[in-house]
């Protein structure tokens, strides 16, 4: 095998490793969702298993139970192909044309209202997170300043 043959095959082996990593990480994310969905059903929670799974994954990420690099490639792949997950919903919507003609304005109102509520909630959460980050940064600056002041005294 020549050097040019080896370098020509290297990207393929890396591609297989990347595909395997994406598959494993997507499976891990699906496993978290499955466990959370079963938990939500068993405890009769009023929220969907997907929401419980997101909260569970967030807790695992924050406490160090799951490292971000363990799910990044799988999450990126799922997010990049998210539009494909809406195809069944779009096909189902076409089958209910009468419903849209009769109650289309109500459905549009619910969709627009729900979207606005999500946007407001996300904006509020981002604002609160930014305030918390500023408070923590200010606390760090004060701590360093006080430590320097004590060192000089």
What's the whole-number average pLDDT of the chain?
Answer: 83
Residue 7: per-residue pLDDT? 42
Burial class (CB in 10 A: 0-12, 13-18, 19+), 53: buried
Q: What is the mean pLDDT of residues 1-24?
A: 64
3-state secondary structure of 153: coil
Residue 12: per-residue pLDDT? 52
Whole-model pTM: value is: 0.49
C-alpha 107/C-alpha 66 separation (Å) is 39
Could you tell me where the beta strands, DSSP code E, fall in the chain? none
In tens, the pLDDT along 30-59 reads 888 899 999 999 999 898 888 898 888 888
- Band the pLDDT of 13: cuts 50, 70, 90: low
Q: What is the mean pLDDT of residues 79-106?
A: 78
In tens, the pLDDT along 103-141 reads 888 988 998 999 999 999 999 999 999 999 999 999 999
Residue 3: per-residue pLDDT? 45
């Amino acid at each position: 095998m020549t050097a040019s043959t080896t370098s020509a095959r290297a990207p393929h082996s890396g591609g297989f490793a990347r595909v395997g990593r994406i598959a494993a990480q997507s499976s891990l994310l699906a496993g978290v969702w499955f466990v959370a969905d079963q938990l939500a059903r068993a405890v009769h929670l009023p929220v969907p298993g997907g929401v419980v799974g997101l909260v569970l994954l967030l807790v695992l990420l924050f406490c160090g139970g799951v490292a971000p690099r363990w799910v990044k490639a799988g999450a990126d792949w799922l997010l990049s192909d998210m539009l494909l997950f809406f195809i069944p919903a779009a096909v189902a919507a076409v089958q209910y044309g009468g419903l849209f003609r009769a109650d289309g304005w109500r459905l549009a109102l619910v969709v627009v209202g729900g979207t606005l509520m999500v946007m407001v909630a996300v904006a509020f959460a981002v604002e609160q997170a930014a305030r918390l980050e500023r408070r923590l940064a200010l606390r760090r600056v004060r701590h360093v300043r006080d430590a320097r002041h004590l060192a000089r005294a």
